[in-house]
Amino acid sequence: MSILLEMKDITKEFPGVKALDQVNLKVREGEIHAICGENGAGKSTLMKVLSGVYPVGTYDGEIHYGGALAQFRNLRDSEDQGIVIIHQELALIPELSIAENLFIGNERQSGGVMNWHETFRRTEELLRKVGLTEAPGTIVDRIGVGKQQLVEIAKALAKDVRLLILDEPTAALQENDSRKLLDLMLELKAQGVTCIIISHKLNEVRYVADTVTVIRDGMAVSTLDAKAGFEEDDIVRDMVGRDMSHRYPERTRFAGDLLLEVEDWNVWHPEHTERQVIRDISFNVRAGEVVGIAGLMGSGRTELAMSIFGRSWGRNISGKARLKGSAVDLGSVDRAIKAGLAYVTEDRKSLGLVLDESIKFNTTLAKLEGVSTRGVLDENAETEVAERYRKALGTRTPSVFQKVGNLSGGNQQKVVLGKWLFTGPEVLILDEPTRGIDVGAKYEIYSIINDLSAQGKGVVMISSEMPELLGMCDRIYVMNEGAFVGEMPASEASQERIMSLIVTE
Amino acid sequence: MTSESKGLKAYLSAHMRDYGLLFALIAIMAFFQIVTEGTLMRPVNITNLFLQNSYIIIMALGMLIVIVAGHIDLSVGSVMGFIGALAAVMIVNYDIPVAVTIPVCLVLGGLIGAAQGYWVAFWRIPSFIATLAGMLVFRGASLWLLEGQSVGPFPQSFQVLSTGFVADIFPQAMTSPIAEAVGARNFNLLALSVGAVASMVIIWLGLRGRARAKAYGIEGEPSAFFWGRNVIVLGALMFLTFKLSTFRGLPNVLVTMGILIVIYAFITQNTVIGRRVYALGGNEKAAKLSGIKTERLTFFAFVNMGVLAALAGLIFAARLNTATPKAGFGMELDVIAAVFIGGASMSGGSGKIVGAVVGAFIMGVMNNGMSIVGIGIDYQQMIKGLVLLAAVIFDVYNKQKQG
């Protein structure tokens, strides 16, 4: 097979950092080429160089595309040559129809007047190609995320794509939607479209990829060929630069006294007041215990956590909460914090951090009274606290004065954890603590969780990744449609057992 | 390039905004000093500059907090006019003592702020709309209160709020030789002493901050910059206070304003409540989930704004010695412009008191300078508009370069 794309010795420097260091990448015509690497390894930067977001001249090295030297000055240039990139965050406009979205910037028109017939006809054609049966006039907002992702691909096809780049396309998708998308990729491959997929999900990479290039610290460290055969562990090893025989750190398990008990918890939706979101949920956490809550997205896990944590979500909340055996008032966030509860949000960027501010600012935010006297902040004490948690959690950053917005996902999560540890909680509710974090950083977060349990704290862990729950928890509650449908010790749990509980209820 | 000069360059590019603002002010002052042939820096004009801009600056302090919290207050001009009108009606028409009128007006300003903040904070009405309504309501209220007439003049005891000066505490025997030496009619040694003491405090605070930063291994401002900046700032401070000394000394308003600036700078930078305002503006949801009572904080930002607008209204009325139905008309835009020129972000979460004050002075010096030169109000408006645009473009450009 001929080489469609060759990137030679690509080096890209930002002030102070070398994001890419002599990276070489060869993509053959008609293959699916996966790029794996930890967050911050340089995958996205490499794709930005390729697609002209970083124009020619701002990087060193050469790009050969379709047999010629490519010098893209912007996205438009690369798109004209059939290179289309689909970003992690969808670029669809939710209020417009599928048809309008497909041809944005590429409208079927004559003299500035839209040709709606042509637009709709082409849309139907393209939707069929990606296996969607929706009407072209459907508003994008009304279809699920999985289908939106397929619409994105249809949009790429509308541009006569030759090289399709997907940046973590399944990050927000459910299992079966992911599968559909991957199958579509295989189909496109059969039609001669070359694909580059960036993904953290190694089982998916194994499923679709012909070749895998692993990038670490801005360098391409290895290229693996599917035909030669490779294991997920090979990729993981190359990504983190060490052998990862255990994905979950060892922990000596013990369960102490009861810490948090929640009884008959009921919550209604804040806007659709007739909808009950949480039904009669009771659970408990003991000191030193890691308790998991399994369930699909939308089963009400986050709503449960937030309603307990200072009634931050929902209305008509009823139920009893006890901490160490005595009733406790969790009526507002600050009272919940004082009572010894901490909630690490699922979405750290929009709910957990002030991105424009420093690590120091964020670390002390939930307990400013700990670094102030009579309302006046003590900058030195703040710096000390931030330093302490930076060291304890191994946050990789030049200093605590760094903006958290500039940190990688794993390091941001450590800042959030540091912030909550500083409040001195008894019970931590961790909502998807490893979402969007690479393998190496995940391991570190797991180790932190184990340390917490060793200190006798109670941990409630909400996660969509069942292997993670099975690997980390002592006990797992299974949640479905706002109610708990099962409880089991982790030793007796399996993915199949949890799934069957969810499905049969 | 040596590593040190590289560090300097990196530092400069990261703090371009702060230095840029200071140099812009100095450049504008130098420019008008030349084109007005020295009129700008005459003691009487400097005094005037402070008097003319005091109410803008006082309101800018409150506006900065509102804007950092992620909101805006369009009603401040109208509220200021309304409170001035109320003071006039109370004092002139009803002979209510000044000592009663002033606290009543300030409390009412707070209540007005509360009335608007209530809808913004607890009902989540966009502040643009809630305060646009307030702007119309209080503009109408001023008209109604004054029945379309100007009311004045005020008694002396009220006028001193604006036009009074702090009497010298040093005996005449000490000051008259100095007056002779510098060729002035009299010399207010107090003003100069205050300038000197303030300079020493600034240097002391600066050095203490640097020592602390060093103790923590924080890479602070390069020492060349620290001293360069301080020489300029303190030089300007001493120069201004000297000029004031040769006129009538420190205007009361300048003292009020100076104290308020120090208090608000301290609150925003060094207190828990200030920190929480920045967190609220930076990411409201994250702030809320960190136990911060965001609604209450928003509410108080507006209450505070109301009190400061009332204070500005009193000072404005005292300065004009009359309350007119048109007082404060469009003033909110000058205040908001000052805050944005000072580097605050429209989306909230960033901006500094000192920036807002310098921003207000940039506008003030331009107004004053252009008036002296005789540039018409038409051109003045256009030029001010372009300066605002340029300042914000400069901000955005800087951000893009860094990001």
Q: In this model, does residue B107 exceed pLDDT 80?
A: yes
Residues B33 and B124 in one domain: yes
Residue B54's identity, in one-letter code, is S
Chain A touched by B265 (CB under 8 Å): no
Residues A180 and A234 in one domain: yes
Percent of chain A with pLDDT over 70: 96
**Is A245 among the domain residues?**
no
Pick from B270, B272, B288: CB nearest A333: B288
Residues A376 and A329 in one domain: no
Residues A194 and A221 in one domain: yes
pLDDT for the residue A360: 95
Residues A270 and A402 in one domain: no
How far apart (Å, rounded) are the C-alpha atoms in residues A481 and A301? 9
**Is B235 among the domain residues?**
yes
**Is B35 among the domain residues?**
yes
User: Which of B233, B250, B267 is the last residue before a domain boundary?
Assistant: B250
Q: Are B138 and B146 in contact (CB under 8 A)?
A: no
CA distance to partner chain A, nearest, from residue B395 (Å) = 15
For residue range A392-406, what is the model confidence (pLDDT) as tens digits?
Answer: 998 888 888 888 988
Chain A touched by B15 (CB under 8 Å): no
The residue range of the domain holding A389 is: 348-424
Residues B121 and B263 in one domain: yes
CATH of the domain at B30: 1.10.3470
Across A297-374, the runs of DSSP E, i.e. the strands, are: 315-323, 326-327, 341-344, 372-373
Strands A258-268 and A276-286 turn out to be antiparallel
Residues B240 and B151 in one domain: no
**Is A77 among the domain residues?**
yes
How far apart (Å, rounded) are the C-alpha atoms in residues B380 and B369? 10
Residues B78 and B195 in one domain: no
pLDDT for the residue B127: 96
Residues B61 and B144 in one domain: yes
CB contact under 8 A, A354 and B293: no
User: Which of B192, B221, B250 is the last residue before a domain boundary?
Assistant: B250
Pick from B218, B273, B279: CB nearest A354: B279
Residues B265 and B357 in one domain: yes
How far apart (Å, rounded) are the C-alpha atoms in residues B127 and A478? 44
The residue range of the domain holding B179 is: 167-250
In total, the C-beta contacts within 8 angstroms joining chain A to chain B are: 85
Q: Are A224 and A210 in contact (CB under 8 A)?
A: no
Chain B touched by A375 (CB under 8 Å): yes
Region label for A375, one of left (φ > 0), alpha (ψ between -120 and 50) or beta (otherwise) = left
Residues B141 and B272 in one domain: yes
Domain count, chain A: 3
Residues A305 and A288 in one domain: yes
SS3 state at B343: coil
Residues A192 and A271 in one domain: no
Residue to substitute from B6, B214, B280, B289, interface A, most A β-carbons within 10 A: B289
Residues A483 and A502 in one domain: yes
Residues B208 and B153 in one domain: no
Residues B210 and B282 in one domain: no
Residue B26's identity, in one-letter code, is I
For residue range A353-388, what is the model confidence (pLDDT) as tens digits?
Answer: 999 999 999 999 999 999 999 999 998 899 999 999
How far apart (Å, rounded) are the C-alpha atoms in residues A441 and A247? 11
Residues A208 and A73 in one domain: yes
Region label for B283, one of left (φ > 0), alpha (ψ between -120 and 50) or beta (otherwise) = beta
How far apart (Å, rounded) are the C-alpha atoms in residues A465 and B191? 70
**Is B271 among the domain residues?**
yes
User: Buried (b) or exposed (e) across B292-301, using 16+ Cβ within 10 A?
Assistant: bbbbebbbbb
Cα-only R_g, chain A: 25
CB contact under 8 A, A377 and B270: yes
Of the candidates A278, A282, A277, the residue with the CA atom closest to the CA atom of residue A260: A282
How far apart (Å, rounded) are the C-alpha atoms in residues B121 and B295? 5
**Is A310 among the domain residues?**
yes
**Is B207 among the domain residues?**
yes
For residue range B313-348, what is the model confidence (pLDDT) as tens digits?
Answer: 999 999 999 999 989 988 999 999 999 999 898 889
Pick from B218, B270, B282: CB nearest A357: B282
Q: In this model, does residue B6 exceed pLDDT 60?
A: no
User: Which of A393, A424, A455 is the last residue before a domain boundary?
Assistant: A424
Residues A27 and A164 in one domain: yes
Q: In this model, does residue B248 exceed pLDDT 90?
A: no
Domain count, chain B: 2
For residue range A408-439, what is the model confidence (pLDDT) as tens digits?
Answer: 888 999 999 999 999 999 999 999 998 878 77
CB contact under 8 A, B291 and A401: no
**Is B341 among the domain residues?**
yes
Chain B residues whose beta carbon lies within 8 Å of the beta carbon of residue A383? 216, 218
Element (H, E) at A12: strand A3-14
Write the ipTM: 0.86
Residues A176 and A296 in one domain: no
CA distance to partner chain B, nearest, from residue A368 (Å) = 6
Q: Are B260 and B315 in contact (CB under 8 A)?
A: no
Residues B145 and B284 in one domain: yes
Q: Are B63 and B305 in contact (CB under 8 A)?
A: yes
Q: Which of A39-48, A155-164, B57-66, B148-157 has the highest mean pLDDT?
A: B57-66
Chain A touched by B316 (CB under 8 Å): no
Residues B43 and B110 in one domain: yes
CB contact under 8 A, B286 and A356: no
CB contact under 8 A, B285 and A343: no
**Is A246 among the domain residues?**
no
CATH of the domain at A481: 3.40.50.300
Chain A touched by B12 (CB under 8 Å): no
A383 Cα distance to chain centroid = 30
Residue to substitute from B9, B208, B283, interface A, most A β-carbons within 10 A: B283
Mean pLDDT of A461-478: 89
Residues A449 and A465 in one domain: yes
Chain A touched by B347 (CB under 8 Å): no
- Give phi and psi for A22, each to the nearest 5: 50, 55
Residues B314 and B286 in one domain: yes
User: Which of A394, A424, A454 is the last residue before a domain boundary?
Assistant: A424
Mean pLDDT of A442-456: 91
Q: What is the DSSP letter of A31?
A: -
User: Which of B250, B284, B299 is the last residue before a domain boundary?
Assistant: B250
Residues A435 and A484 in one domain: yes
User: Which of A207, A240, A273 is the last residue before a domain boundary?
Assistant: A240
